[in-house]
Amino acid sequence: MLTTDVKRWWHTQPAITQVLLGLTVGVFLIEWLLGGSTMTTVLYFLGAKNDQAIIAGQWWRFITPVFLHMGLMHIAVNGVVIYFMGMQIEALFGHWRMLVLYLLGGISGNIMSFALSPDQSVGASTAIFALFGAFLMVGESFWENPVIRQLTQQFLLLTVVNLVFDVFSTGIDIWGHVGGLAGGFLLAYVLGVPRVGPIPKVKRILAAVVLILAWVALLKLGFTNWQ
pLDDT at site 168: 66
Q: How far apart are CA 194 and CA 100, in angstroms?
A: 15
Whether pLDDT at 1 is above 80: no
pLDDT tens for each residue of 73-112: 999 989 999 999 999 999 999 999 999 999 999 999 999 9
pLDDT, one tens digit per residue, over 125-172 is: 999 999 999 999 999 999 888 888 888 888 888 888 878 877 666 778
* DSSP character string of 161-194: HHHHHHHT-SS--HHHHHHHHHHHHHHHHHH-BT
For 161-218, the pLDDT digits (tens) are: 878 877 666 778 899 999 999 999 999 999 999 989 999 999 999 999 999 999 999 9
At residue 163, the pLDDT reads 81
More confident residue, 10 or 41: 41
Say how many domains are in the chain.
1
Task: Check which CATH number belongs to the domain holding 41 and give it.
Answer: 1.20.1540.10
Q: Return the pLDDT at 38.
A: 92
Q: What residues contact residue 163 under an 8 Å CB cut-off, 6+ apart? A: 174, 177, 178, 181
Q: Which amino acid is at 193?
A: V
pLDDT tier for residue 2 given thresholds of 50, 70 and 90 = low
Catalytic residue annotation: 125, 177
Domain that holds residue 81: 2-226
Question: Average of pLDDT values for 35-49?
Answer: 95
